[in-house]
Amino acid sequence: FGGGGGDGSTEITAGTAPGFPPFEMKQDGELVGFDIDLLEAVIDETDYTLAGWEEYEFKSLIPALTNENIDVVAAGMTINDERDQTIDFTDPYYSSNQAIVVREDGDFAPSSLSDLAGRPIGAQKGTTGETTVQDELISPGNLDESNYNSYGNYVLAVEDLQNGNIDAVVIDEPVAQTFAAQRPVTIAFTYETGENFGFGVRDGDDEFTQALNDGLSTVRDGSTYQDLTNKWFGQ
């Protein structure tokens, strides 16, 4: 952990990967989103102070955490066994499935993963969308590796979809919904993964993790969590 806050509390630095609306994105140069507001509200309930946010590509967040460049990850990060071997997670704060996003023009309207065979598709590097492509399409031999495009950022993947360079993007459903509301793309179908997002913390930072879990449950019990859901997901 970094230094002490002015009031004697411990200062922590948070890391995220913008380009994943509405969880984290840049708006007029400002980092905003559900994850940003939620983690800040949770930290407010603890004895820790947030020194600031650092931005990384998604695949670099776990190394940044283990190298102690950051102390917590808030990036719509799915809790899974593979990551759990390197880092720890707080309790879950959001659930998601994967969605397959296509252009709105209707030329290509897949209804299952096997319909993606032979098509150029994309996902973000190091994500569970990429794992879905790998495990469900490439490994079983339904998609040639050369058809898969790995992007540093989901915004770039969706732009390539709009440009016609790829025919589908595999991405977390709430983010797919946001892109579909803002761009000429649409959700063709969803693929159930039942993943849960948690804040990533360093293995062994048990006191900090416990403080975040307590903060999260306070924020959930009050109106803050619902208010933030309304603000960012409009429901």
Stretch that binds ligand ARG, among 13-21, 46-54, 139-147, 162-170 (CB under 6 A): 13-21
Contact residues for 43 (Cβ-Cβ < 8 A; gap 6+):
12, 49, 50, 212, 215
Instruction: Give yes or no for a contact between 158 and 131, defined as CB atoms under 8 angstroms apart.
Output: no
Residue selected from 17, 155, 158, 185 as contacting ligand ARG according to rule CB under 6 A = 17
Q: Which of 127, 147, 177, 193 binds ligand ARG (CB under 6 A)?
A: 127
Residues 85-114 that bind ligand ARG (CB under 6 A): none
With a CB cutoff of 8 Å and minimum separation 6, the contacts of 227 are: none
How far, CA to CA in Å, does 33 sit from each of 19, 40, 131? 10, 11, 25
Q: Which residues, listed in sequence order, are joined to residue 103 by a DSSP beta bridge?
A: 185
Q: Under the criterion CB under 6 A, does residue 136 sit at the interface with ligand ARG?
A: no
Q: Is 209 in the site for ligand ARG (CB under 6 A)?
A: no
Q: Which helix (H) or strand (E) holds 10?
A: strand 10-16
Phi and psi angles of residue 116, each rounded to the nearest 5 degrees, phi first: -85, -5
The reply on whether position 71 binds ligand ARG by CB under 6 A is: no
The window from 39-47, 73-81, 100-108, 184-192 that contacts ligand ARG (CB under 6 A) reads: 73-81
Sketch the per residue contact string, 165 through 184, with ligand ARG: x for CB under 6 A, - otherwise.
Answer: -------x------------
Q: Phi and psi at residue 105, in whole multiples of 5°?
A: -60, -15
Task: Give the residue from 152, 129, 185 showing the smallest Cα distance to 55.
Answer: 152
Residue choice 34, 48, 53, 58 for contact with ligand ARG (CB under 6 A) = 58
Stretch that binds ligand ARG, among 43-51, 87-95, 122-130, 186-194 (CB under 6 A): 122-130
Exactly one of 15, 21, 24, 122 binds ligand ARG (CB under 6 A); that residue is 24
Question: Do strands 10-16 and 48-55 pair parallel, antiparallel, or not at all (unpaired)?
Answer: parallel
**43 is an interface residue for ligand ARG by CB under 6 A:** no
* Binding footprint of ligand ARG on the chain (CB under 6 A): 17, 19-20, 24, 58, 75-78, 124, 127-128, 154, 172
